[in-house]
Amino acid sequence: MNIGTRDNNLPELFDKLNSHQDIEEEFVSIPKGEKLLFFWKECKQDEVDSASIIEKTRQKIRYNTIKRKRSHFLVVSASIAASVLVCISTIYFLNQKSEKGIRIEFNTIAEQLDNKRLEDVTLITSNEQVKLNNNAYVLYSKDGNVAIDSQEISVEENKDEINYNQLLVPAGKRAKVKLSDGTILTVNSLSKVIYPTSFTGNVRKIYAQGEVFLDVAHDKKHPFIVESNDFSLRVLGTKFNISNYKEMGETTIVLVEGSVEVTDTNENKAKLSPNDLLNITNGAVNGQKKVDVNEYISWMNGILFLNGKDLESITQKLSIYYGVSICCSSVVADKKIYGKLELKENLADVLECIQQLLPVTIENKDAIIYLDK
């Protein structure tokens, strides 16, 4: 059977696999089919989208018909038992955007990574996952070697290909990454970043989702690009904060120093100067204004500035940070709070601080925390 015919039969092949029919000999004749078969049979989870796997397999087969330099990327999805188990669920075959115009599909990768079900900060390399402590510091050398809290770890990677790592940060945790170019990422709770172990080519490109503060190493010959669901951001060297939690329904980008250019999903561009905040809603630029940047980066020091915000918006942030549903009654939702909150490890301690600032009752019912008068 030729490649084109087998490409058309992929849905049928996967259906057979899913129904436990014995088609190993037929399936593994596809390029990389043995690996696909292994991951499908041994590591398949309910949340993995079969249609996505099929489409990615089609893409791989098409890519094999032309000679291009490839980079491979292992995508994992997390599941929790008594301890964290990150099981490799499928393989995406990615190509870095180059003169041949092929773009890494970061968004598709990130959708397969569920940090909401993790308990520990988790680093995923091309061949293993490593559980890290809260506030762990992951450091990459210029040649792609990795150390965790100053202790180097052994990672088997193909030096002839672009190797990507992923850092997943669960609720209530933070972590820091120093990339091979010297750029430092501070990653907040319920956030994820995807990045190469070392940069090659004309640009430095990563993916970020959730909240990340970036201190980008200056390199005018190699622009730094951040991709996410609803924007692409380009800089040479600067400091800025990105917050694009899906639960918030919007993206905010706050520039501390330097300059950045942001492109939304409609290809509209916006340039930011220091102390600018850019808002993006539904993938489109939706306003730009001057702000006090300290209010947006204080989370790195475990502090949440209140500054007259209403209780509902504050609890929404706490819900994201701690991974717990918090609801406010209409009676207290718009009450303003001033001061600051220390983002302690125990949410109960944080809610007690809120009670000291505002007279509210707190009830925990069916895994939901209710605040009322």
Cα dihedral sign for 30, 31, 32, 34?
Answer: positive
Which pLDDT score, from 0 to 100, does residue 32 have?
53
Query: How many Å apart are CA 364 and CA 258, to the nearest integer?
Result: 45
Q: How many CB atoms lie within 10 A of CB 46?
A: 5
Which pLDDT score, from 0 to 100, does residue 329 have?
92
Which pLDDT score, from 0 to 100, does residue 213 have?
97
What tens digit of pLDDT does each residue of 150-199 get? 887 776 666 667 788 899 999 888 999 999 999 999 999 999 999 999 99
Which pLDDT score, from 0 to 100, does residue 86 have?
30
Highest CATH level, class, for 302-372? alpha beta
Query: How many Å apart are CA 285 and CA 252, to the nearest integer?
Result: 10
Contact yes or no for 140/105 (Cβ under 8 A): no
Which pLDDT score, from 0 to 100, does residue 172 have?
86
Nearest to 112 by CA among 89, 83, 84, 85: 89
The more confident residue out of 189 and 93 is 189
To the question of pTM greater than 0.95 for the whole model, the response is: no
Please determine, for residue 267, whether its predicted confidence score (pLDDT) is greater than 80. yes
What tens digit of pLDDT does each residue of 12-68 get? 655 655 555 555 555 556 555 555 555 555 444 444 454 555 555 444 444 443 333
The more confident residue out of 51 and 225 is 225
Average pLDDT over residues 229-250: 88
- pLDDT bracket for residue 127 (50, 70, 90): confident
- The domains of the chain are located at 1-67, 72-200, 228-298, 302-372
What Rg, from alpha-carbon coordinates, does the chain have? 22
- pLDDT bracket for residue 321 (50, 70, 90): confident
What the block records as the tokens of 55 is: 């489409």
What CA–CA distances, in Å, run from 43 to 20, 47, 58, 290?
14, 11, 20, 48
Which pLDDT score, from 0 to 100, does residue 71 have?
35
The more confident residue out of 38 and 322 is 322
Give me the count of residues in the chain: 373
For the chain, how far is it from start to end, CA to CA, in angstroms?
70
Which pLDDT score, from 0 to 100, does residue 94 have?
38
- pLDDT bracket for residue 10 (50, 70, 90): low
The more confident residue out of 182 and 100 is 182
Of 1-5, 30-34, 266-270, which range is least confident? Answer: 1-5
- pLDDT bracket for residue 253 (50, 70, 90): very high
Please determine, for residue 123, whether its predicted confidence score (pLDDT) is greater than 70. yes
Which pLDDT score, from 0 to 100, does residue 125 have?
83
The more confident residue out of 98 and 203 is 203
Of 80-94, 121-135, 180-194, 254-268, which range is least confident? Answer: 80-94
Contact yes or no for 247/194 (Cβ under 8 A): no
CATH, range 228-298: 2.60.120.1440
Name the one residue in this structure whose structure tokens are 């993206």. 251
Which pLDDT score, from 0 to 100, does residue 246 have?
81
Q: What is the mean pLDDT of the chain?
A: 76
